[in-house]
Amino acid sequence: MKTIGLSTLFLILGITPCVLWCPSVQGQGSNKTLLAGAAKTNITPPLGTSLAGYMRDRRAAHIHDDLFARSLVLDNGEARIAFVICDSLAIYKKEIDKAKYLINEHTGIPPEQVLIAATHSHTAPTVVSVFQSEPDKEYADWLVTRVVDSVRIAVNNLRPAKIGWGVGREDSVVFNRRFFMKPGTTPPNPWGETDEAVKMNPGYENPNIVKPAGPIDPDLSILAVQDLDGDPIAVLGNYTLHYVGGGKGDDVSADYFGVWAEMIEREVGGDGEITKPPFVAMLTNGCSGDINNIDVRKRLEQPYPYHQMYEVARIVADKAREVVRNIDYHEWVPLAAKQTVLELGVRKPTESEIKEAKSILENAEEPLKTLREIYARETVLLAKRSDTVHTPVQALRIGEAGIVTFPGEAFVELGLEVKEDTPFPTTFCIELANDYVGYIPTVQAHEQGGYETWRARSSFLEKDAAPAMISAALDLLQDLRSMDK
């Protein structure tokens, strides 16, 4: 594993940034004024669009609730940073880098000072290639445009502001979804192997469950921004929960992330001042690769579709409002961002594995139905990939709050380790940010096995990827903290 700089990354991608240092944005620290602006743009797809999140492709048949790209821009006169949180399963670096290039071109914000992340709704359009769903290029291109638009509008909405942060705890709706099973009860993996120690989602009230294979992270971290009159501009939350689901599989929905945002906008924003830009709430996903909302000890009974989604959103929104009420605000804070790009190895299949996979597919019918067939296809497709990938880890500083990103579905242990060793009093860990490289299990999880480790386009990084990312994240946070010296 090695790291490369952002400029090298742009050379790899064939992109030349228009502006990496913008005098109109930087170098204005003498007035010590903080500006903030927020916006959201609609990214709901047309019916018939492919939806990601299942092993078989689905097509959107109904819009349950709209999808948005939600943005927050902060400017302290010395630096300007931007967040864009999209109601999407995941987004590749290719689209994100294009959006950052255009944001830079239109606003002067350097690419490394822009964080773009997906929430991980499993009822959103396919933007990355996952199992039997392939991206709709027209939608992906339009998504880039709307992401850029949201930042441009947020910049237009900049006004004097104050900012604060806080952390609450809500452990009643998050569960580790990986379990140790009694010997001999773990079903075969897609390659027929029966020696795995762990199973994901083993089912309600399964008597063969021994114990969870990992911890949870109950932190609900909140960043809140108000104007100088005390009217809210934005609330950015960070909570470690994969998604909730429980709706109709062919509906378009932002999942509980979108419901939470609507609740916060309605209940924290209230009526608001109609002459001011709208208040925007956004919920980012923590390191939730092995975390979900399923309590295997008791069977979930929904009185109607989406009930659980609203229940979880209600609980998390109530806790968020409690945190917001107790936040102390600052009229100016340091702002900074740094990014590094890691070169990581890819777990490639052997020649014999490729040959076997091709023979399985020769007799399979589309759409593929069994795990054996689906993972045979993944094996053939992974064989065509390069031996390494380049993917970013980013850190941002907002006063005494640090933020780090992971470019995939990071296991909860990654976020907990960063929070344990961070030099900042408060640290947000945002996954599915700036790229999508599938699951990021711990080294131990690779040894235990389970769905998240099965080699596919959803899980292909080298086994040591997690410690490399943790090390990079902590180094970046330390660099940002050293600004004080």
Instruction: Please report whether residue 442 resides in a domain.
Output: no
Give me the pLDDT at residue 140, please.
97
Interaxial angle between packed helices 255-267 and 307-325, expressed in degrees from 0 to 180 and rounded to the nearest 10 = 40
Task: Give dist(CA 117, CA 100) in Å, integer.
Answer: 12
Instruction: Give, as one character, the DSSP assignment of residue 37.
Output: E
386: number of Cβ within 10 Å: 8
Domains held by the chain: number: 1
For residue 185, CA distances in Å to 61, 148, 197, 445 come to 38, 50, 9, 18
pLDDT for residue 269: 87
Residue 68 lies in a domain: yes
Asked whether 38 and 279 are in contact (CB, 8 A), the reply is yes
Total Cβ atoms within 10 A of residue 103: 29
Residue 297 structural domain: 2-171+217-335+394-437
| Residue 444 counted as domain residue | no
Question: Would residue 177 count as lying in a domain?
Answer: no
pLDDT in tens, 294-346: 999 999 999 999 999 999 999 999 999 999 999 999 999 999 999 999 999 99
Residue-wise DSSP of 296-307: TTS----SSTTH
Axis-axis angle for helices 351-362, 371-382 (nearest 10):
130
Residue 9: per-residue pLDDT: 45
The parts of the chain modelled with pLDDT lower than 50 are 1-2, 4-29
190 occurs within a structural domain: no
Residue 360 pLDDT: 97
Report CA 382 to chain centroid distance, whole Å.
Answer: 23
Give 10-61 pLDDT, tens digit per residue: 434 444 333 333 333 333 335 699 999 999 999 999 999 999 999 999 999 9
Residue 36 lies in a domain: yes
Is 344 within the bounds of a domain?
A: no
**3-state DSSP assignment of residue 215:** coil
Grouping H, G, I as helix, E, B as strand and the rest as coil, residue 222 is strand
Residues 439 and 415: beta-carbon distance below 8 Å: no
Q: In what order do the strands lie in the sheet with 35-42?
A: 114-118, 80-86, 68-75, 35-42, 159-169, 219-227, 232-239, 280-285
3-state helix, strand, coil in the chain (%, to 5): 30, 30, 45
The rounded distance, in Å, linking the Cα atoms of 15 and 7 is 9
Cβ neighbours of residue 201 under 8 Å, at least 6 residues apart? 177, 292, 294, 296, 451
Residue 201 lies in a domain: no
Confidence (pLDDT) at 15? 43
